[in-house]
Chains A and B, each alone.
Chain A
Amino acid sequence: MENNSYKTMHPNLLKSMLVKRIGFVLVLAITGSLVYYFQTKIQFSLLGLSLFYSGIFLLALALVFLAKAYFRRKKFKIAEKNISYQEGILYQKETLVPFARIQHIEIDEGPLERFFSIATLSIYTAGDSGRDLKISGLELMKAQEIKSFISNYIKDE
C-alpha cells in the first residue's frame, strides 16, 4: 500500500475532464446560438458571427490544453502515516493529512465517473471543510483499498 513516490491519477480522469470541458463549451455555444437566433434586437454581420464561433473554438482548445496540464499536476502519495495530494498550476498546492487526524472518508461516483469507472475519495478532518482532501480519478478498487487501509490504521491506533 505504502509508496514513497507521488502517483499520477488514472488516465480515465483526463477523459472525463475532457468530456466535462467539451460539454461546457458545447452548452455555451448552443445557448449562445439559441439566444442569438430568437432575439431580434441585435443583428451581427457574418464577420461578427464567425468571430463568435472562432472565439468559442479557441476557448475549447485552451480548456482542452489546460486539462492536460492540470491532469499532469494531480498526484497523490500514501506514506506510512499520512496521505498527501498535489494539484494546481497557477496555485500549486500540496495538502498533507496524517491518518491520525482523519474523521471520516467517503467514496463518491458521479454518472460520468461511473462511465469511466473511476471514483472520488474525500477525506474529512475537523479543519474547515473546504481545505480537506478530495482526490478524484482513482479506480474504484483503489479508492476502496485506500479507504480500508486508512480505516484499519485508525482502528488500530
Chain B
Amino acid sequence: MNNFSFQEFSRQSPKGIIINYGVLLYKLVKSFWVFIPILFSKNIESKMSYLFSVIGGLVLLLLIVAVVQFIYFKFKIEGDQFILNKGMVFKKKTAIPIERIQSVNFKQNIVHQLINVTQVEIQTAGAKDVEVSIKAVSRELAEALKKKLQNENEIEEEVEIEVKEDSARLIYSLSLLELFKVSFSENHLRSFFWILAITFSFGYQLEDIVNDWNFADEMIQFVVLNKEEITGSLLALFVLFVVGILISVVVSFVRVFLRHFDQKVVYKNDGIQVSEGLFTKREDILKIQKIQYAVQVTNPVKKAMGIGTVRIRQAGSGKVKKKKLVELVGVKEHFQKELNALFFSYEARPNALCFRPALYYLFKMFVRSAFFVALVNVVFYFNAFSLLEFIVLNLVLLPLSIYLVLLKYEKTYFTFQEGKLILGEGKISTVTTLIEYFKTQNVLLQQSIIQKKRGVATLKLQTASGVIKLPCLRLDEAHSIKNILIQEMEENKRDWI
C-alpha cells in the first residue's frame, strides 16, 4: 500500500473513462428523454437516417468528452490540503484542508463492480461546502487515499489511533431472513403512494405510445364491463386497493433488498462502519461526534418481530442531504440501547422535563383531516356513487381519520434531559428523534396569524442535516424551550461537527 504517496498528481484508473462515458450518456438520455417518443412516431421515418447521424455524432462527441474529462482529472495531497484539478475548458481547482474532511466513503454500482473499480466520495462540511467524487480508482488506491486523508485527520486530534485500530468488531450483519422481516414490516402505504406518483407522471408520458399498457386501466375497464356481476363500484375500489397494496409490498421488498442487502455494521475507531447494497455497494463511516441526530422508527409489526430502524444523519450541505442519511434497518432492541449509549451516552429516564403540543395542534389536525374526508367525498360524488356506498365509505373513513389524528396527538411529545432533546411523533409507526441540541445551528420561532390568536407557536431547530420541528407549543413554553436551546448552544464549547 505504500506505493501511493499522493505527492505527485495522480489520475483515475483508465477504466474511469467508461464511467465518465456512462454518466455522460445517462445525462444525455435524461435531458432528452421527453423527445424519445418522437423516435417512435410515424411521420418521422423519412428523416430517420438524418436523426440517427445526429444521435451518433453526439454519442461519439461524448466519448471524446469522457476521455478529456479523464485526462484533466488529477488529484494529489500537498501539505495539509487535498487538491483536485479538473476540466479543460472550464478549469476548476479545488483545495480542501484535510482537517475539514468529514468522511471518505466508497461506492460501487454494478458498472463499477463489473470493471472492478471504486468510487471515492469525499465529504466536507462548513460554510462553503465542497463535495468531491472521484469516479473510478482501484480498490487499493481508494483504501490508501482514505487512510491518508483520515489518518492525518486523526493524528491531529489524538494519538491513540493504534489502540483504537484493533477495536473493530462486528455489531451485526443482516441475514436473508432478517431482510425479509424488514421488507415485510416496511410502511407499505408509503410505497403505495410512491407507485401512484410514478404511474401518474409516467403514465401520461407513455399513454400515446402504448395505450393498453396501464394495468389500472385494464382493471377499471374490467370492473366497468362487469359492473352488475361485481356488486358495486365500492367493491371494485376495494379490489383495486388490495391489488395496489400487493404491488406496494413487492416494491417495498425490491427497495429494501436493493439498498440494504447484506447490511453489515462494524465498530471501528471512534465510529461505526456500515456497508450494504445489492447492485450498488455502499460503505459509509459514521464518526460519532459528527452525527447530528438519530431517528428511531418502529411500528407494531416491527415491534412484534423485535426489529427497528435507526436513521442517522450526518452534517451535510442542503444539496446532498439524502446521501448523508444512513439507515440501519433490522436493529434489535439490545443494540438499540447500545446505539443510544454509544452516540449520545443517553438512557431514557422517566422524570425528565417534558412538553406536549397545545390542544390547538389537535384542532388543526382535525380540520385538516376534515378537509381530506370532504375532498374524498366530493371526488366520489362526481363518480356517481350510490347513497349506500357513501355511507359505507364514510363509516370507514371517518373513524379511521379520527383515530389517526388522536394517535398522532397522543404520540407527540418533546423531552429535555441532560443536553438531549427527545422528540416523539408518528401515527401507526412510532418515530423518536434524538439530538444533542447544542448541535443546533439556529432557532426559528414561527407563528401564523391564527396561531398568534390562539397563543401557540412552532419552533424549528435548524441543524446541519435538516430541520427538526416542534409544532404548536404554548407560547410561553416555546419561549422557555427556545431559551434552553440558545443557552446550551452558546455555552457548550464542544465541536458540533
Q: Which of B33-41, B254-262, B263-271, B460-468 contacts A (4 or more CB under 8 A)?
A: B460-468
Contact with A along B440-460 (1 / 0, CB 8 A): 111111111100100000001
Asked whether B318 lies within 8 Å of A125 as measured between CB atoms, the reply is no
Is residue A48 contacting chain B, with contact meaning CB distance below 8 A?
A: no
A interface residues, how many (CB within 8 angstroms) = 28
A5 within 8 A of B: no
Is the pair B127, A124 in contact by a Cβ cutoff of 8 Å? yes
Q: Closest approach, in angstroms, between the C-beta of A116 and any C-beta of chain B?
A: 28
Q: Is the CB of B446 within 8 A of A129?
A: no
Q: Which residues of B contact A128 (CB under 8 A)?
A: 318, 321, 462, 466-467
Count chain A CB atoms within 10 A of each CB in B447, B452, B482, B493 and give the residue with the most. Answer: B447
Most buried by B among A93, A103, A128, A132: A128
Q: Range of interface residues on chain B?
A: 20 to 34
Q: Does A95 contact B (CB under 8 A)?
A: yes
Q: Known contacts A126-B497, A129-B318: does B443 contact A81 (CB below 8 Å)?
A: no
Q: Name A's interface SS.
A: mixed
Total residue contacts A-B, CB cutoff 8 A: 82
Q: Is the CB of B490 within 8 A of A131?
A: no
Say whether B346 faces chain A, with CB atoms less than 8 Å apart. Answer: no
Q: Is the CB of A94 within 8 A of B445?
A: yes
For A103, give the chain B residue with the smallest CB separation: B127
Cβ of A17 under 8 Å from chain B: no
Q: Is the CB of A93 within 8 A of B490?
A: no
Q: A124-B127, A125-B462 are in contact. Are A131 and B444 (CB under 8 A)?
A: yes
Would you call B126 and A92 a contact (CB within 8 A)?
A: no
Q: Judge if B486 is at the interface, Cβ distance under 8 Å.
A: yes
Minimal Cβ-Cβ distance residue in A for B446: A93
In the bound complex, do residue A127 and residue B441 qualify as a contact, i.e. CB atoms below 8 Å apart?
Answer: yes
Enumerate chain B interface residues (CB-CB to A < 8 A): 125-127, 315, 318, 321, 440-449, 452, 460, 462-464, 466-467, 482, 486, 489-490, 493, 496-497
Shortest Cβ-Cβ A-B pairs, 7 listed: A127-B462, A103-B127, A127-B441, A125-B441, A126-B464, A97-B442, A81-B490
